[in-house]
């Protein structure tokens, strides 16, 4: 797996309504350095009157085949260059929309408030507000502009204004200058891994080898699939999200292309089928995308000044 195999994508629904979010849109990559490809421009009216806006994004493993990316985590390290501020939290699932979000758990990052000396077991971080969650047990990412980086588990945090003194379960490995170093609380998302699961056959005589379902990182989508037999050999295929796919037969290999991703949703070799299937029999299973979702929240306080070159920085790690 290469660094370039990790990509970011938007959600299918992008609005300022309760329906905002939902499943990943594999055709809408979020490209680093491109303005307004996740959040829109803040208008003069919004700067004057204030605005809170949320967007859902996904980190995806696009490595060939089904090689997992283990223990993925994303951190909002460099805060906004403007008067607005940003927060991050993990999505509960792919279907989650803005209307289903709770108020808890929003975290973020900021610049170091004091230099770190190798061996330190605490760091001071200047956040843009004192309402960022810094929970014990969370993973803190510390990263310098010059390239140095380390992570450590948080043991606790004490606030003085917008500065959090964050205790660490392990010591800092090197010196870090406050002038060029940022720290962010990680959103830990788990493994980015395509897989098929929950295979169930409804048939009196047909059999199926669950291990026969082949998925790939690039093509697998978060979906629930139903294979319905229309004869003793022919079947139709539909997904709760993808809709109807081409029909198939147990006498031939089946492969369903995800055209937006340029790879197949899943494939089933003909050897996976056995026994005697009949019209009306069904096979159901789930596929999981090699991607996990997270939310970003932008708060624009009223009377915020215009910032032409505003940006934030997301950093990520996998094992």
Q: Looking at residue 319, what is its pLDDT?
A: 87
pLDDT lower than 50: segments of the chain: none
What does the block give as tokens for 27? 């055709």
pLDDT at 3: 87
Report the half-sphere exposure of 286 (CA within 13 A, side-chain side): 5
How far is it, in rounded angstroms, from Cα 33 to Cα 289?
26
Q: What's the CA gap between 199 and 214, in Å, rounded?
A: 13
pLDDT of residue 309: 84
Q: What is the predicted pLDDT for the residue at 237?
A: 98
pLDDT value at residue 150: 98
pLDDT at 308: 84
CB atoms within 10 A of CB 178: 17
Q: Between the CA of residue 177 and those of 93, 134, 248, 264, what are the distances in Å?
A: 38, 22, 61, 48
Residues 6+ apart with CB under 8 A from 116: 123, 142, 172, 174, 175, 176, 178, 181
């Amino acid at each position: 797996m290469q660094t370039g195999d990790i990509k970011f994508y938007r959600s299918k629904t992008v609005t300022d309504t309760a329906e905002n979010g939902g499943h990943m849109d594999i055709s809408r990559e979020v490209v680093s350095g491109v303005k307004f490809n996740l959040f829109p421009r803040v208008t003069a009216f919004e700067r004057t009157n204030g605005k809170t806006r949320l967007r859902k994004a996904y980190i995806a493993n696009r490595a060939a085949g089904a090689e997992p990316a283990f223990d993925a985590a994303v951190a909002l390290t460099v805060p906004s260059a403007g008067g607005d501020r940003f927060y991050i939290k993990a999505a509960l699932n792919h279907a989650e929309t803005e209307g289903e979000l709770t108020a808890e758990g929003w975290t973020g990052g900021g610049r170091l408030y004091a230099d770190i000396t190798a061996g330190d077991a605490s760091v001071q971080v200047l956040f843009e507000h004192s309402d960022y969650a810094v929970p014990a047990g969370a993973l803190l990412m510390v990263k310098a502009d010059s390239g140095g980086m380390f992570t450590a588990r948080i043991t606790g945090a004490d606030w003085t204004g917008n500065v959090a003194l964050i205790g660490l379960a392990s010591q800092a490995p090197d010196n870090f200058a406050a002038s060029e170093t940022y720290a962010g609380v990680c959103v830990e998302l788990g493994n980015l891994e395509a897989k098929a699961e929950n295979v169930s056959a409804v048939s009196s005589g047909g059999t199926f080898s669950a291990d026969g379902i082949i998925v790939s990182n690039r093509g697998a989508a978060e979906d629930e699939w139903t294979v319905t037999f229309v004869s003793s050999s022919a079947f139709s295929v539909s997904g709760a999200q993808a809709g109807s796919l081409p029909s198939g037969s147990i006498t031939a290999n089946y492969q369903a292309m995800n055209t937006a991703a340029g790879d197949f949703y899943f494939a089933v070799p003909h050897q996976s089928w056995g026994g005697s299937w009949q019209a009306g029999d069904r096979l159901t299973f789930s596929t999981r995308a090699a991607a996990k979702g997270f939310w970003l929240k932008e708060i624009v306080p009223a009377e915020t000044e215009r910032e032409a070159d505003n940006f934030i920085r997301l950093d990520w790690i996998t094992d």
